[in-house]
Chains A and B, each alone.
Chain A
Amino acid sequence: DVKVTQSSRYLVKRTGEKVFLECVQDMDHENMFWYRQDPGLGLRLIYFSYDVKMKEKGDIPEGYSVSREKKERFSLILESASTNQTSMYLCASSPVGGYHNSPLHFGNGTRLTVT
């Protein structure tokens, strides 16, 4: 069964900390995505990657960076966590093709709280 795994289900961090959210997929997918989900705002794309070491900004990249050193792993980094980054973070992957035309496979999400 195909799977996208996010390393943590719940995470609590302090303001100013550097935070790493990890995502691994076992489907050999080229494309990987990071979204955040907030009540009333829906899903917003932070970054995506269509190949190893490649990355593209989404709609709300400010305050975030990403790393894709291996095909199966896509990390989201909060350089200096702030309270407005408290959110549900969703990782997704999709096979080669139009980046945003293929069905997405999602992980279970990481609920991050920044205090």
Chain B
Amino acid sequence: AQKVTQAQTEISVVEKEDVTLDCVYETRDTTYYLFWYKQPPSGELVFLIRRNSFDEQNEISGRYSWNFQKSTSSFNFTITASQVVDSAVYFCALSEAGAGNNRKLIWGLGTSLAVNP
């Protein structure tokens, strides 16, 4: 069965610190997708990144970077030089590829990040 674990429920950092949000997943499929979403206090979830299982290259987008390691079934998210605007709940999600109505997006429970000035 699919499963996504975000072990860190809450993280609190001071502005300009680097912070890593962990995501560990379980799947029996060889083809799957991994996602990160951000939910700021306003409530609207915003898509950040999608990674497929065949692309283990790390991704960097500004202060955001993602480390995908199939060997440890992890897809961790690092924010460098955090800012107050990064305060949000971050969700990791997993989807097995392929057709079929029984394939669903599995969500982690989220990590609440507070960046303090």
Q: Identify the A interface with B (CB < 8 A).
A: 40-43, 45, 56, 58-59, 88, 90, 92, 98-101, 103-109
Q: Which 6 A-B pairs have the closest CB atoms?
A: A100-B105, A103-B47, A106-B45, A42-B109, A109-B43, A100-B95
CA distance A102 to B44 in the complex (A): 17
Pick from A41, A103, A107, A109: contact of B50, CB under 8 Å: A103
Q: Which residues of B contact A108 (CB under 8 A)?
A: 42-44
Question: In terms of DSSP, what is the predominant structure of the interface of chain A?
Answer: loop
Q: Which residues of A contact B64 (CB under 8 A)?
A: none
Instruction: Please classify how large the interface on chain B is, using the bins under 10, 10 to 19, 20 to 34, 35 or more.
Output: 20 to 34
A98→B97 contact, CB < 8 A: yes
B47→A104 contact, CB < 8 A: yes
Q: Which residues of A contact B107 (CB under 8 A)?
A: 42-43
Beyond A99-B103, A106-B44, A108-B44, 18 additional contacts (C-beta under 8 Å) are A40-B109, A42-B91, A42-B108, A42-B109, A43-B91, A45-B104, A45-B105, A88-B43, A98-B95, A99-B101, A100-B104, A101-B95, A104-B37, A104-B45, A106-B46, A107-B44, A108-B42, A109-B44
Q: Which residues of A contact B97 (CB under 8 A)?
A: 98, 101
Q: Which residues of B contact A43 (CB under 8 A)?
A: 91, 107
**Closest beta carbon of chain B to A84's beta carbon, Å:** 19
Chain A residue at minimal CB-CB distance from B95: A100
B44→A101 contact, CB < 8 A: no
Q: Which residues of A contact B46 (CB under 8 A)?
A: 106
CA distance A25 to B43 in the complex (A): 17
Interface positions, chain B 31-90, Cβ under 8 Å from A, are 33, 35, 37, 42-47, 50
**Closest beta carbon of chain A to B25's beta carbon, Å:** 14
B98 within 8 Å of A (CB atoms) = yes
